[in-house]
Structures are given as structure tokens and as C-alpha cells.
């Protein structure tokens, strides 16, 4: 069986945008699994994403207030098909990230993280895949708003970064 998924992070609603992009909502509606790596900022977004997700995994980030403490963990671990995932908001500086991730998440096949608003797709020395979907609402110095979508089929993982230029928002 193949599992489709959407990865998003750093939505910062309603501070950075009034809503998520329509294309992201369509991806959420179509996916088997939605994964959010924190910095929601408001509970209404969490409720809306959870309400439209077939399966949901999420964590809270550094900009999420105490109202998130009872709703989301700081670290989540889950399995999709035959892959072990870990989900966290922050991983520290880009330099040395793969080595630190190997040490901190040695029992993980895929680490999803956020915080930087910069899309990231790399492989650690252990073979662990590290993914950051960027932000669909606050691109900072990036050229586009971003999120990721993909599939898991057994142990096979495919991922693509969806890029939404500012003019299309």
C-alpha cells in the first residue's frame, strides 16, 4: 500500500498570512497523512488542519504559546509503512545538522523539522533523510513559499518541494 503525505511547518497564522494557500489545502484534503513541524501560532489553524486530515502528526514550535502544551508534543515519533519518522521543530544550525541528527535520532529513518523557513532535503551519514518543508506563509529570504508532498511505499520514500511564487499567492 502507498501512503501519500504533506509536510508543512511555520504557518504563523494569522500573523504572516490570513490563510494557507489554496493549493496546500487541496494537498491536505488529498493526502493520507499530514505532518506539521510546529510554529502554528493559533489553535484555529491546528483545528482546521486536523479537521481536514485523514491522519495527522504534529508538534509545537518556539512561537506556539502555552495553549498548545496539552495539544501537541515537542517531539513526535510515528511509523509510515515501514519507515520510522521523528518530528521536531528545531534542529539547530545547518552546519553539522546531519551528524547531530544521527546522534539524537539514531532509531529514525526520516527526520522532519521546521524553524528555519528554508526547505531542506539531505541524507545523514547513517542514511537518515532530513526534511524541512520551509513555510507556506512566511518565505523570509527564500524566493518562494513552500511545502512538501510525497509518498511512502514500504521503505521507498519520494518527496517533492512545492514552490509557490509570491505573485501567485
What pLDDT digit, counting tens, does each position of 17-43 carry?
Answer: 899 999 999 999 999 999 999 999 999
Contacts 24+ apart (CB under 8 A), 40-48: 40/11, 40/12, 40/13, 40/64, 40/68, 41/11, 41/12, 41/13, 41/14, 41/15, 42/13, 42/14, 43/67, 43/68, 43/71, 44/13, 45/11, 45/13, 45/20, 46/71, 46/72
* Helices 22-30 and 43-52, packing angle to 10 deg: 50
Instruction: State residue 116's pLDDT score.
Output: 96
Question: CA dist 11 to 8, 95, 107, 116, Å?
Answer: 8, 25, 28, 12
Instruction: State residue 1's pLDDT score.
Output: 85
pLDDT at 56 over 90: yes
Specify the CATH number for 2-168; select among 3.40.50.1000, 3.60.21.10, 3.40.50.150, 3.30.470.30: 3.60.21.10
| Average predicted confidence (pLDDT) for the chain | 96
Instruction: State residue 75's pLDDT score.
Output: 98
Instruction: State residue 144's pLDDT score.
Output: 96
Question: Per-residue pLDDT tens for 87-135?
Answer: 999 999 999 999 999 999 999 999 999 999 999 999 999 999 999 999 9
pLDDT cut 70: percent of the chain above it: 100
Structure pTM?
0.97
Instruction: State residue 101's pLDDT score.
Output: 96
Torsion 47-49-54-59 (CA) sign? negative
pLDDT category at 168 given cuts 50, 70, 90 is confident
Instruction: State residue 167's pLDDT score.
Output: 81
d(C-alpha 91, C-alpha 159), whole Å: 20
Amino acid at each position: 500500500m502507498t501512503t501519500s503525505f504533506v509536510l508543512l511547518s511555520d504557518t504563523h497564522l494569522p500573523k504572516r498570512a490570513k490563510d494557507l494557500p489554496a493549493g496546500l489545502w487541496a494537498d491536505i484534503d488529498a493526502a493520507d497523512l499530514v505532518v506539521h513541524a510546529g510554529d502554528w501560532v493559533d489553535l484555529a489553524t491546528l483545528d482546521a488542519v486536523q479537521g481536514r486530515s485523514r491522519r495527522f502528526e504534529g508538534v509545537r514550535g518556539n512561537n506556539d504559546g502555552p495553549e498548545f502544551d496539552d495539544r501537541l508534543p515537542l517531539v513526535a515519533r510515528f511509523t509510515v509503512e515501514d519507515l520510522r519518522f521523528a518530528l521536531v521543530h528545531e534542529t539547530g544550525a545547518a552546519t553539522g545538522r546531519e551528524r547531530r541528527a544521527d546522534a539524537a535520532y539514531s532509531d529514525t529513518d526520516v527526520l522532519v523539522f521546521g524553524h528555519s523557513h528554508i526547505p531542506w532535503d539531505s541524507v545523514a551519514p547513517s542514511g537518515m533523510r532530513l526534511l524541512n518543508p520551509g513555510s507556506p506563509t512566511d518565505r523570509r529570504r527564500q524566493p518562494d513559499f513552500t511545502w512538501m508532498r510525497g509518498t511512502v511505499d514500504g521503505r521507498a520514500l519520494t518527496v517533492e518541494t512545492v514552490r509557490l511564487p509570491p505573485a501567485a499567492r
